[in-house]
Structure 1
Amino acid sequence: MATEQELSDFLKSVEKRAFKRSIYHVRDEDAALDIVQDSMMKLAEHYGDKPAAELPLLFQRILSNSTLDWFRRQKTRNALFSNMSDFESADGDGDFDLLEAFAGASDSQQIESAEDSTRRAQILHEIELQIQALPNRQREAFLMRYWEEMDVAETAVAMGCSEGSVKTHCSRAVQALAKALRARGILP
């Protein structure tokens, strides 16, 4: 059984990655924050008594389901209120600072020149755009495997599919990203 402190420590350790993963899926900071908070609450309420070792997979599954639920609600909302779009707020700037996630990366290295820093920011922005352009299942598998560093079996459990499907999704995602980044001159 996870103690209250273990649960708290686990949630603190995954919050930023979970938020980033949600941003990639929903492309809306407020919605991503809501999804992550909702997922954390569900984990604490329904699975807080599980062993600490089981929390990562449970949380990934809850986060995936919460994201799917958000898309379903959006689809329903859009179908019901599609003619009212003129009255909705257009303040969703959608700007997510990629460099924030890597803020400490250059501190441990030598100081970058302004040109290097700008080029790095451009590359990171392009990578983010290409990840967002991936089909949903490929993006989900890619982020779990390479962002969350989950193994194939864990990813399969979290996504509710076979290990073969995870491998296929990841392979296609990597190929699509490499092709897109080569086309933009980022990869040789």
Structure 2
Amino acid sequence: MAVNREFEEFTISRQRALFRYAYLLIGDRGLAEDLLQESLTKTYVRWHKLRDSANAEAYTRKVMTNTAISWFRRRSWHERPNDDLPSGVPARADDASARIWLWAEVRKLPPQQRAVLVLRYYEDLTQAETASVLGCSEGTVKSQASRALKKLRAGLAPEALPLLEKVVTA
């Protein structure tokens, strides 16, 4: 019963942060709830092998990332982008609309790049911590972040680049 209590305490204490991570990965509240539930179920199955809550959180985030990537792969052949959509954010957008546009663009990134950006710039993890959560090297984190930021910058009008930099460094 101690295992159940430990897992319950972990879930209660980290649920909001894990849900926020799931939402930023998926971009849909309902799917984020499903992702969190599935990931916590997988974590519970392996709970006896996890030594402390720090390992449990890192493991759960890794499970969430892998599960989200798997979901995107399964549905990727069903959904195709529409070429008629406008590209870029208006150059004079206010901060709120810039953030909305930015997160919409982040959701279009490949899942691994999206996970790196969320962990690095939203969760404010270091490169080493991000690499640990994702189970990859720091070099991979750097290259994925660089590619993702390059894609985001490419979609902006030149006058709007300071908005991206402001959001990324905020």
1:157 alignment counterpart: 132
The match for 1:123 among 82, 94, 98 is 98
Mapping 1:6-21, distance limit 5 Å: 6-21=9-24
1:57 alignment counterpart: 58
Once the 2 structures are TM-superposed, how far is the Cα of residue 52 of structure 1 from its aligned partner?
1.4
Long gaps (5+) in structure 1: 79-117
Once the 2 structures are TM-superposed, how far is the Cα of residue 184 of structure 1 from its aligned partner?
6.2
Which amino acid is 1:7 matched to?
F
Q: Which has the higher mean CA deviation after the structures are superposed, 168-177 or 59-68?
A: 168-177
Whether contact under 8 Å (1:36, 1:63) holds in the other structure is: yes
Once the 2 structures are TM-superposed, how far is the Cα of residue 167 of structure 1 from its aligned partner?
0.8
Q: CA RMSD in A?
A: 3.0
The match for 2:151 among 153, 158, 176 is 176
2:36 alignment counterpart: 36
Distance 1:133 1:22 in 2: 10
- Percent identity reads 27
Distance 1:7 1:19 in 2: 16
Once the 2 structures are TM-superposed, how far is the Cα of residue 186 of structure 1 from its aligned partner?
5.7
Distance 1:183 1:133 in 2: 20
Once the 2 structures are TM-superposed, how far is the Cα of residue 22 of structure 1 from its aligned partner?
2.9
Once the 2 structures are TM-superposed, how far is the Cα of residue 73 of structure 1 from its aligned partner?
4.0
Distance 2:158 2:125 in 1: 29
Decide whether aligned partners of structure 1 residues 70 and 133 sit closer, same or farther in structure 2, where only a CA change above 3 A counts.
Answer: closer
Decide whether aligned partners of structure 1 residues 4 and 165 sit closer, same or farther in structure 2, where only a CA change above 3 A counts.
Answer: closer
Q: Which has the higher mean CA deviation after the structures are superposed, 124-133 or 169-178?
A: 169-178
2:67 alignment counterpart: 66
Bigger Rg over Cα: 1
2:160 alignment counterpart: 185
Long gaps (5+) in structure 2: 79-92, 164-170
Once the 2 structures are TM-superposed, how far is the Cα of residue 14 of structure 1 from its aligned partner?
1.7
Q: Name the SS of the counterpart of 1:187 in structure 2.
A: helix
Decide whether aligned partners of structure 1 residues 184 and 129 sit closer, same or farther in structure 2, where only a CA change above 3 A counts.
Answer: farther
Whether contact under 8 Å (2:7, 2:44) holds in the other structure is: no
Once the 2 structures are TM-superposed, how far is the Cα of residue 69 of structure 1 from its aligned partner?
2.9
Decide whether aligned partners of structure 1 residues 133 and 72 sit closer, same or farther in structure 2, where only a CA change above 3 A counts.
Answer: closer
Once the 2 structures are TM-superposed, how far is the Cα of residue 58 of structure 1 from its aligned partner?
0.6
| Alignment TM-score, normalising by the size of structure 2 | 0.67
